[in-house]
Structure 1
C-alpha cells in the first residue's frame, strides 16, 4: 500500500509532463517516459536490472494506445504515406522481432547506457536542427538503403521503448521528406513497433522475481493506467501552449535537459 501511495501520484505527474512536452515540442512520449519511469523505479529501490527493462516495457505499452489515436488522426488528414508503409512495413517488423529477441540478452546496465547515448544523439540533433535545416539528400535512398533504415528503426525502437517517431521523423527529414508526412507515417509505425515489442517485454520478464505491484513481466500496468490518460489529456494542451511560447528557446532548454539526463544515465 505504501508503494502504491508513492507510485501512483508520481506516475500521474510524469504522464502530465510527458504529454505537455510531447505536444509542446513534438517529441515522442517514449523519450520522456522511459527516463522518468527508470528514475521512479530506482527511487523505489527497484534493482537496475529490473528498473530499466520495466521502464522500457511500460513505455511501449503506453505507445500502443497513443499511437492508435495519433495514427487515426493523421490518416483522416491524409498524413500517412501508404506507399512508404508498404515498402518499410516488413522490414520494420523484422527489426522489431530482432530487437525483442535481443532484449532478452541485454542487461539493465547496458540498456541504460544505450538509452543515455540515444538521449545525447537526440539532444545534439535537436540543437542543430533549431538553427538550420538538416538535409543530406533530396530524396530517400534506393530500396536496399530503405530496407536497412527500416530494420534498424524497428530494432532500436523496440529495444529502447521509444516507438517509431523518435528515430523515423529525423531520419526521413534528412532526405527532404515532408515533415507532416513523416510525423503521420511514423505514428502508424509506432503502433506496428509497440504491440509486438510490448508482448516481447512481457514474455522475457514473465518469471522475473521482485517485480513491483501491478506488473506482468516487464510491463507495469499501474504505470500504463496512470500515464496513458494523462498524456492524452495534456498533449493537446501542449500543442496549444506552443502557439504562445517561444518554442525554439524551449527546445534548446529541453535539448540541454536531455543531454544532462543522458550523461547521468551513462555515468551513474
Structure 2
C-alpha cells in the first residue's frame, strides 16, 4: 500500500486538474482529450509520474473518461434522430481497428512519438479555429464512397486514440468538409466516440499492464483515481465555464480556443527539444 501522503497529493492534484478541465470544457464546448490530456500531463508531472509512461497514462485515462460521456451523448442524439447511423454502420470495424492500432503505438512507441502526434494535431485544429476559410472549406458534395470511406474511419480512430480524444473534432471536420450539417456531424461524433473509446480502453489496459512507473490505482494506462474524480468534478464546474462562454461571441470563442490549442501545442513541442 503506498503512503497516504502520496495518495492525498495525487487526489488534490487531480481535483485541481478536473476543475481546470471542467472550466475549459464548459468555456469551449470540448470535453475530450484536447482539454484533458494536457491538464493530466501537468498533474501527473507534479505527482512525479515517470516520463516514460506519463503521456500514455494521460491518453488512456482520457479515453476511459470519454466512454460514459460518449454513450450518454449518443443516446440523446439518437433519440432525436440526428445520428447518421448509415455512416456508423460502415465504420463499425474501421474505426475500432484504427483505435486498437493506436494502443499498440502507445504501448511500444517512444513517448516522443505520442507527444509529437498530439502537438501536430492540436496545431492543425488550432489553425482550423483561427482561420475561417479552413472551417468553410468543402472537399465534396457528399461523403466519399468505400473503400476511401473506410480509410477515413480508420484514420479518425487511429489519430483520435493516439492523442486521447473521442474523435469529435476530427469527425466534425471530416463530415463538414463533405457538406454534412454541423448538427449531424456533432451527433454522429458521439457514436464515433463510443467506437473509439471502448476498444481503446481495453487496448490501453492491456498495453500498459505491469509497466513500471505508473502511479497508484492504475490498471495499465488507466488511472482510476483520475477517472472517479474527474467525471463528477468536470460536470460540476463545466456550467461555470458555459456561463462565461455566453458572454463571448462564437468568433471570440473560436479564437480563444485556437489560442489555447496553440499554447498547448507549443508546450508539447518544447518538451521534445
TM-score normalised to structure 1 length? 0.92
Q: Could you report, residue by residue, the CA deviation over 1:78-103 in whole angstroms, capped at 9, with x for unpaired residues?
A: 22111111112221122122222232
The farther-off stretch of 241-250 and 154-163 is 241-250
Rounded to whole Å, the distance in 2 between the matches of 1:123 and 1:258 is: 6
1:261 aligns with 2:272: no
Structure 2 partner of 1:184: 187
Matches within 5 A, 1:19-58: 19-58=22-61
Cα deviations by residue, 1:3-44 (Å, 9 ceiling, x for unpaired): 332322332232233233334323242111011111211122
Structure 1 equivalent of residue 230 of structure 2: 227
Structure 2 residue aligned with 1:208: 211
Q: What is the SS of the residue equivalent to 1:143? A: coil
Corresponding residue to 1:120 among 119, 123, 127: 123
Specify the alignment match of 1:148 in structure 2.
Answer: 151
Q: 1:233, 1:96 → 2: CA distance?
A: 30
Once the two structures are TM-superposed, the CA of residue 250 in structure 1 deviates from its matched residue by 2.9
2:171 is equivalent to residue 160 of structure 1? no
- Count of aligned residue pairs for this structure pair: 268
2:254 is matched with 251
Q: Describe the SS at the equivalent of 2:48.
A: coil
1:112-169, CA deviations, whole angstroms, 9 ceiling, x for partnerless residues? Answer: 1211111111111111138962323222112222111001111111222111212111
CA contact (8 A) 2:172 2:182 kept: yes
Partner of 1:7: 10
What TM-score do the two structures reach when normalised by structure 2?
A: 0.91
Which blocks of at least 5 consecutive residues in structure 1 are unaligned? none
3-state secondary structure, aligned to 1:104: helix
Root-mean-square deviation (Å): 1.9
Match of 1:199 in 2: 202
- Does the aligned pair in 1 maintain the 2:83–2:187 contact within 8 Å? yes
CA distance in 2, matches of 1:235, 1:131: 28
1:95 is the counterpart of 2:98 = yes
- Tell me, which stretches of 5 or more residues in structure 2 are unaligned? none
Deviations 1:233-256 (A, max 9, x none): 344554454333334223212211
Q: Is the 8 A contact 1:31 1:166 kept in 2?
A: no
